[in-house]
Amino acid sequence: MSSPLPLDAQGLAAVVAGTLADYDARAEAFRAGTWDHDVSQNIAALLGAIRGPAPWTILDFGCGPGRDLIDFTRRGHRAIGLDGSIALARMARAASGCDVLQQDFLALELPAAHFDGVFANATLQHVPTQVLPRVLSELHAALKPDGVLFASIPHGDGREGWNRERYSAYHAPAAWDAFCTEAGFAKADSFFRPTGMPREQQPWYASVWRKAG
Amino acid letter, residue 140: H
Q: What is the pLDDT of residues 173-211, one digit of tens each?
A: 999 999 999 999 999 999 999 988 888 899 999 999 999
3-state secondary structure of 156: coil
- Structural domain boundaries of the chain? 9-211
Give the Cβ contact number of residue 4 at 10 Å. 7
Average pLDDT, the chain: 96
Angle at 140 between CA 136 and CA 142, to 5 degrees: 115
pTM score over 0.85: yes
Quick: pLDDT tens for 78-97. 999 999 999 999 999 999 99
69-82 residue pLDDT tens: 999 999 999 999 99
Kindly give the residue spans of alpha helices, DSSP state H, lying in 50-84: 67-74
pLDDT of 195: 87
Query: Greater confidence, 156 or 4?
Result: 156
Task: Report the pLDDT averaged over residues 38-66.
Answer: 97
Q: For residue 143, what are the β-bridge partners?
A: 115
**Domain with residues 9-211, CATH architecture:** 3-Layer(aba) Sandwich (3.40)
